[in-house]
Amino acid sequence: MAPRSQRRRHKKPPSLVAPGIKAPPTIVTPVPLTPLNTGPSIDTLGFFSLDNNVPGLSQLILQKLNMKSYEEYKLVVDGGTPVSGFGFRCPQEMFQRMEDTFRFCAHCRALPNGLSDSKVLRHCKRCRNVYYCGPECQRSDWPAHRRVCQELHLVAVDRLMEWLLVTGDFVLPSGPWHWPPEAVQDWDSWFSMKGLHLDATLDAVLVSPAMTTLWASVGRPRPDPDVLQGSLKRLLTDVLSRPLTLGLGLRALGIDVRRIGGSTVHVVGASHVETFLTRPGDYDELGYMFPGHLGLRVVMVGVDVAAGFSQSTSTSPLEPGTIHLSAHRGLYHDFWEEQVETGQTDHPDLVVAFHPGFHSSPDLMEAWLPTLLLLRDYKIPALITVYSHQELVSSLQILVELDTHITAYGANPFMSLKPEQVYSNPNKQPVYCSAYYIMFLGSSCQLGNSQLEEKVDDGI
């Protein structure tokens, strides 16, 4: 870590890489796909890191998706116009090719083109998710696979059911909360509040033509209704986890959402995950969490934001009860200097980063450092989320070294309940989006390294 005198600088050095009742309107405004030279992208680093564990996996993915380069893949992921040659003749081909991107031996890491003529990749019959090139590899891998087999079965079902979100055939049920907001503290209370209305909505999806078409196209037996309903609920929590986690931060940090002119939340390090399939209604739950709010502006800032959003420089007051979503493509500390300091956009009441990943590599840490120092030095209320307890410990230690004042951390009551498979290491324990959170405000952390390790080791 740099000396304190250098760490206090937050400007980027030249070398840095940096439903019943109609819902109040949520406005989304569109972003051109402009190439940016902004340094390391967590999407790019993540894609090519697949080869570290399974050599050649990135090229297999491109080949099966009819793409010639990562740039074509990234263009489609970002919501751009597909290039010539991209696409599939029918849903059956699409699902088959998507499944082919998971075909490698989980034990010896062999890809299809590396197998002898006598071998063929077959999936585990229990989870239908992990592949082996033969009985010997499967037997050898069983001690590791047995710990995650059941959970990976859920991943396999969710991966197919997610297509209903992409096509819009599964629309998230929404409507004003019928319980006092303070009574809704986690998913158990949220599901209890939604009750029979939610069950009826999910049942309608289960018997819809889209569901029939989906399972007729994937080449697998259709699971039982309770399995499919469980998948829909997990997908629902995956989408709503982000707006409700924003609400968790607004609540815990005591931010007044009834301020005249509205309140502003910046989501930093945003990528296609937060922006590609986001629809206006996805953030309605954030508004229902704060009845009587005078407007909430959510600005996504990141080098990987998708098309469909646009830079918003308006500082005009929001209409009470509305939520405005927009995005800016670029690094946050640049956005701050160009937009916030010049008064072209509002100062944030809260800054949130979903899975920033700065603990995982020096390049990402270097890219995030100016933003972390900016948040600290300007005393901006901030919340970050991580996938696992291990990431929580690592991220806390980095923030302590940066002298941030950590105000709270722990398990997120609105974490996604959808398990995420580690693509190139399928027998690694699945993780959950936004499983833990850290909140900090300003500098002078109250916990030293030894105190922090002791507290984390005691359990969160």
pLDDT at 415 over 60: yes
CA dist., res. 164 & res. 214, Å (int): 8
pLDDT of res. 60: 85
Higher pLDDT, 450 or 70: 70
pLDDT at 426 over 70: yes
Average pLDDT of span 274-299 = 88
CA dist., res. 131 & res. 120, Å (int): 10
pLDDT of res. 11: 36
Q: What percent of the chain has pLDDT over 90?
A: 57
- Reduce the DSSP state of residue 296 to 3 states and report it: strand
b/e map 323-346, b = 16+ CB within 10 Å: bbbbbbbbbbbbbbbebbeeeebb
Amino acid (one-letter) located at 300 = M
Q: Could you tell me the two tokens for 247? A: 């609400």
**297 Rama class: left (phi>0) / alpha (psi -120 to 50) / beta:** beta
- pLDDT band for position 8 (cuts 50, 70, 90): very low
CA dist., res. 127 & res. 141, Å (int): 14
Model pLDDT for residues 316-326, shown as the tens digit of each residue? 778 899 999 88
Picking from 384, 410, 438, 174, the residue whose alpha carbon sits closest to that of residue 266 is: 384
pLDDT of res. 13: 30
Higher pLDDT, 72 or 242: 242
Please enumerate in sequence order all residues whose Cβ is within 8 A of that of 331, keeping only pairs 6 or more positions apart, or say none.
12, 18, 38, 39, 301, 303, 367, 370, 371
DSSP secondary structure string, 377-409? Answer: HTT--EEEEESSHHHHHHHHHHHHHTTEEEEEE
pLDDT at 293 over 60: yes
b/e map 393-415, b = 16+ CB within 10 Å: bebbebbbebebbbbebeebbbb
pLDDT of res. 223: 95
pLDDT at 46 over 90: no
pLDDT at 429 over 60: yes
Model pLDDT for residues 89-101, shown as the tens digit of each residue? 788 888 888 888 8
CA dist., res. 265 & res. 278, Å (int): 16
- pLDDT band for position 1 (cuts 50, 70, 90): very low
pLDDT at 23 over 50: no
Average pLDDT of span 388-408 = 95
- pLDDT band for position 311 (cuts 50, 70, 90): low
Average pLDDT of span 180-192 = 96
pLDDT at 444 over 90: no
Average pLDDT of the chain, as a whole number: 84
pLDDT of res. 207: 96
pLDDT at 15 over 80: no
Residues 270, 309 contacting (CB under 8 angstroms): no
pLDDT at 59 over 90: no
pLDDT at 335 over 80: yes
DSSP state of 39: S
pLDDT of res. 5: 32
Task: Give the predicted TM-score (pTM) of the model.
Answer: 0.83
Amino acid (one-letter) located at 139 = R
